[in-house]
Structure 1
Amino acid sequence: MIKVSIITIVYNDVKNIRRTMLSVLNQTFKSIEYIVIDGGSTDGTKNIIEEYKDKLAVYISEKDNGIYDAMNKGLAAATGEYVLFMNSGDEIYDHSTVEEVFKTELSADIYYGETEMFNEQLESLGKRRHSIPKSFNWKSFKYGMNISHQAIYIKKSLTTPYDLQYKYSSDIDWIIKCAKRATKIVNTNMYVAKYLVGGVSKQKHFESLKERFNIFAKYYGLIPTLFNHVVIAFNLATYFLKNRRTND
């Protein structure tokens, strides 16, 4: 049976960590290696994690140098054929999701699916503004990140550590690198994750956008990236106008 390493990164999130962990621990797919990396929480988060310590393959609680440093610790500890990051606040969509993902096709390099957004009151906001592409490759992010980090299962052999020069958008760089190495990428055509809005990249939105632009320019070229951002701005304006009319 395929082994999947699911990695949760957390720091001082006592409100959400249990919900995230139970979404992993209650999966019907049993060949899961669950890894939890805590940044040395002081708000009671560690007490909740330790309630489930006997069900964890790896548990590390220590100070780190940011989210991607913590994610690199999880990646280094992973021994599964596939890795999935399900960070605190987010959830695997349903108790049978992981099992259903691997039923779609055999031996893909990457599996991906759709994400449902939730606010802090856990009210559904519907799917992301960027719908997932029907087919995906390393060029698919040129108009924005249209697959959530929580909604992509990647073969461990394709991965490299996250680039720590990026503080807010290294996940985009990481996924593009993995996709460049992949030969078989499968769209599961289903919701696979629940995403809690308001992460670090949203809190540091301008810095995150600058990093994203630099990452896209590195892979797609400066001039095409400038043009693509005109398209992104137009699509964003159209989206908000359309939704304003709908709400009115």
Structure 2
Amino acid sequence: MSDKAPSISVIVAVFNGRTTLQECIDSVTRQTYPNKELIIIDGGSKDGTVELLEKNCSQFSYWISETDRGIYNAWNKGLAQARGEWICFLGADDYFWDAAVLERMAVHLKMLPIRIRVAYGQIVRVSDDGRVSQPMGESWEQVKNAFRQYMCIPHIGTMHRRTLFEQHGAFNESFRIAGDYELLLRELKTGDAAFIPDVITAAQRLGGMSTSLANKFKIYREILCAQRMHGQHLPSKDLLKMMTRDCSQLLLWKVVGDRSARKLLDLRRRFKGLPPYWTQS
């Protein structure tokens, strides 16, 4: 625990993200918390992203545009430049929810014991037409046991203490989608995270790699790979249940088509007392 205001590095990976990147940048630069830096790693965009970065370059502590090997390679490049005591990651489609996110998080970060190296709040998902989901993210006490089975804390906007990377290393670049889960599994299979209540950290636009139903089976393969790397060789009942559910949803998509599948899935959610999700994505 420290009384000093912690420094925070925000690392953004982008590739051909001109349409959304400015909102992401603005959400960082308008933060009321002063002890921060913004690092942008572009994968060699050809859509006008580089020109946008050049226009905003005075807002960055570091930026580069060159070919990379995916988002985890980009984040690792950012890690090599980061100077903050705490580090968080955003994609070009993500943005901080309001201007006081880092200020509110920092109040809690400086109070955490040194053994806690992961801290997170809640996120929301936003559809193309601006509709916002219910906040997502539960307390660590609720999800601690489940975390070894699947990714159940939101990674965007999550704060990683620098010492996490000093002990465990950077992201494993052989992963394409679930590298954040594998990284956190190194720490949280035996350690603890801190949930910061009443803070929505970030918004995630629907449609990215991790929110696509078609990509979920790729995610499951990588989750199982990460678990095998960390000594768990058989999938849990909960993970098998999730895989079965998503398989049935994908089959429904193929049989009745996109629009009808979304309506039917949200009808089932209403019967369970849940807000609509699929018709908003």
Partner of 2:29: 25
Partner of 1:221: 232
Native 8 Å contact 2:148 2:185 kept in 1: no
Structure 2 regions of 5+ residues with no counterpart? 249-264, 277-281
Q: Residue 75 of structure 1 aligns to a residue in which SS? A: helix
TM-fit CA distance, 1:168: 1.5
TM-fit CA distance, 1:42: 0.8
TM-fit CA distance, 1:226: 3.5
Partner of 1:73: 77
Native 8 Å contact 2:41 2:63 kept in 1: yes
TM-fit CA distance, 1:113: 0.7
- 1:70 and 1:181 map into 2 onto residues whose CA distance is 27
Provide the aligned C-alpha RMSD in A.
Answer: 2.5
TM-fit CA distance, 1:143: 4.2
Partner of 1:176: 185
Query: Computing the radius of gyration over CA atoms, which structure comes out larger, 1 or 2?
Result: 2
Amino acid at match of 1:84: C
Amino acid at match of 2:221: K
Distance 1:65 1:233, change over 3 A: closer
- 1:181 and 1:15 map into 2 onto residues whose CA distance is 40
Distance 1:16 1:48, change over 3 A: same
- 2:270 and 2:224 map into 1 onto residues whose CA distance is 27
Amino acid at match of 1:44: G
Partner of 1:243: 269
Distance 1:231 1:133, change over 3 A: farther
Amino acid at match of 2:207: G
TM-fit CA distance, 1:101: 0.8
User: Share of identical aligned residues, percent?
Assistant: 23
TM-fit CA distance, 1:192: 1.1
Amino acid at match of 1:205: K
Partner of 1:16: 20
TM-fit CA distance, 1:219: 3.2
Alignment of 1:170-209 (within 5 A): 170-180=179-189, 182=191, 185-189=193-197, 190-201=199-210, 202=212, 204-209=215-220
Instruction: Find the partner of 2:221 among 202, 207, 210.
Output: 210
Amino acid at match of 2:63: Y
TM-score calculated relative to the size of structure 2 = 0.77
Q: Residue 222 of structure 1 aligns to a residue in which SS? A: coil
Native 8 Å contact 2:148 2:189 kept in 1: no
Structure 1 regions of 5+ residues with no counterpart? none
Distance 1:178 1:25, change over 3 A: farther
Native 8 Å contact 2:149 2:236 kept in 1: no
Distance 1:200 1:120, change over 3 A: same
- 1:18 and 1:70 map into 2 onto residues whose CA distance is 18
- 1:59 and 1:241 map into 2 onto residues whose CA distance is 45
Distance 1:161 1:20, change over 3 A: same
Partner of 2:259: none
Cα deviation digits, residues 41-98 of structure 1 (max 9, x gap): 1111111122210121010110111111111101111111010001101111110011
Instruction: Find the partner of 1:57 among 45, 61, 83.
Output: 61
Native 8 Å contact 2:39 2:61 kept in 1: yes
